[in-house]
Structure 1
């Protein structure tokens, strides 16, 4: 069953205010993601080697998302022409939303791995859970893309419902798997790190919930240009929260767990670990290695 005969929201004429709001949101989100990527790169040495993969994953998320928003911004500018009636869509307007799915196909699996990198899971269990959650995250985005953009150009109600349910099943698995990993990790780490880990999981899973809510709206009502504006604003805000807000919390957990390992004597770190202007551990250098015994060839005696 097809939706109403009105064109998709990205092919409707926008007012100047609607256009400017979306342009502002795209630019602001892109700059925030770029700043987070630079922060992750410059602060990576604050975290011990054991938890540094979480920071590097955050760097990848921020860099990929910032490039995606650059593409979105350029597509948005090319997608509409200003006329007396407002901003009229061009043949490029159909691409105003699709780059987001490319971004999410890469960054959402990385976000799940970023959370698991500061949990207490190890060995085969950690590898299996990381593989399954990253796969589920990718399939969640792919199946959602099929319903929202590919089948019937997103105007087929049956496809929206069918692929939406499939995508939701993968989301349900992620919800159960990631909460299970966090809950099993909390008793093994310090109180402050546990609170930050819990908050990071809440932020990630709560922002994941924004996307299916937006996805489901066309099933019940016919969307308009105003709804396109709301979609772009909601997606931009959710992306910043899910990537920057979540990433900062994960970075904090990584620093706190680094300090815990140094204080317990199970690891070293070449600089003091500070969190919120509080020193959690002093610098501890690895033990000096004794110099190798010099060897010299023996001189045969007569």
Structure 2
């Protein structure tokens, strides 16, 4: 065992400037994630049902990450005591990073779900890839946690290297699988959606690369207070890029693909799709004669008429004549 004799990262004495820098980074990241959650919640209906799992995954990870950063901020605030112009760690300091790995263990798999939800894979292939990438993402985080936190409090260089290599194996599989899924999907979507999906993938995979770099710091250098502050800021920035930046690009892909489906007559959407003030598609409602009477009344904003199903069939043509325009009518 090659155990580093310096204190664990969370138990470093912090200068005023470094303490305030981390304080700012945690607060800014938390606000960004909360704003993303509100945006996703408010705009969830803009995306067609086919791509809505991406929105749901984004909402879940934004909520989890927001709570995680709230806990991180509170622990950082209570984990140090100002003494003689420096912040000395107290009993709470050990938990100033306690929620990061549990957060990532859930949100990183959700990021893979978010990406695959706007790809063109379907059926068994989609289910199998989703299962394997979620498992790989979780195991990547779990094995990294063992090396950085459990064995000798993350101060054993040998354990850091061994568990880091195991984590890297899952990391490489995740890269290969997600890039393969995206490349297989690009020919099946319009140019604008393909460009946005490519950009989203680059943002996600590039931000993923920050975590192993920060993980490797204790292998090559002692973790000083400056390094601790760098780690906290880097993790916070990477979280915002991977979750908010990536999520906004995925939302754009979902909108573009919704508009493509409406224009092609493959799906309906109750309102027009606009992206950056560009009109992508009209609002198209289902053909009312093909849905039940109560559903048709709901679409019209009326109360369902009191009659039986046989009467519905007798008046099917009447409903059809008064139906809202469909995708085929617009063609």
Same fold (TM over 0.5): yes
Secondary structure class of the residue paired with 1:280: strand
Asked if residue 294 in structure 1 is aligned to residue 273 in structure 2, the reply is no
2:59 aligned partner: 59
Deviation at 1:12, TM superposition (A): 1.3
Distance 1:4 1:210 in 2: 23
Match of 1:298 in 2: none
Q: Which moved more, 1:239-248 or 1:84-93?
A: 84-93
Work out which structure has the larger RCO, using CA pairs closer than 8 Å and 6 or more positions apart in sequence.
Answer: 1
Tell me if structure 1 keeps the 8 A contact 2:34–2:63: yes
Residue 136 of structure 1 is matched in structure 2 by 136
TM-score, length-scaled by structure 2: 0.88
Matches for 1:134-173 after TM superposition, within 5 Å: 134-173=134-173
Runs of 4+ in 1 over 6 A off after TM superposition: none
How do 1:1-302 and structure 2 match up within 5 A? 1-289=1-289, 292-294=309-311
State the alpha-carbon separation in 1 of the partners of residues 122 and 107 from structure 2.
23
- C-alpha distance in structure 1 between counterparts of 2:3 and 2:206, whole Å: 29
Q: Secondary structure at the match of 1:274?
A: strand
Aligned partners of 2:238, 2:139: CA distance in 1, in Å?
Answer: 20
Preserved CA contact (<8 Å) 1:3 1:222? no
Alpha-carbon distance change, 217 to 25 in structure 1, aligned in 2, over 3 angstroms: same
The structural deviation recorded for 1:229 is: 0.3
Counterpart contact for 2:48–2:269, Cα < 8 Å = yes
Deviation of 1:181 (Å): 0.2
List per-residue Cα deviations over 1:185-231 (Å, max 9, x = no partner).
00010000000000111111110000000001111111101100000
Question: 2:3, 2:152 within 8 Å by CA — same for their partners in 1?
Answer: no
Q: List alignment gaps of at least 5 residues for structure 1.
A: 296-302
The secondary structure found in structure 2 opposite 1:88 is strand
- Superposed CA deviations along residues 116-174 of structure 1, whole A, max 9, x for unmatched, are 00000000000000000000000000000000011110000110000000000000000
For residues 20 and 217 of structure 1, what CA distance do their matches in structure 2 show? 22
Distance of 2:50 and 2:255 partners within structure 1 = 11
Deviation of the 1:293 alpha carbon: 2.9
- The answer (yes or no) to whether the contact 1:270–1:284 under 8 Å persists in 2 is yes
Please give the per-residue CA displacement for 1:218-270, whole angstroms capped at 9, x wherever unaligned. 11111101100000000000000000000000000000000000000010000
CA contact (8 A) 1:146 1:163 kept: yes
Q: How far apart, in 2, do the equivalents of 1:152 and 1:5 lie?
A: 11
Shift of 1:98: 2.5
Structure 2 residues without counterparts, runs of 5 or longer: 294-308, 313-331
CA contact (8 A) 1:10 1:225 kept: no
Distance 1:259 1:241 in 2: 26
CA distance, structure 2, for counterparts of residue 80 and residue 2 of structure 1:
29
> CA–CA distance in 1 between the matches of 2:260 and 2:281?
8
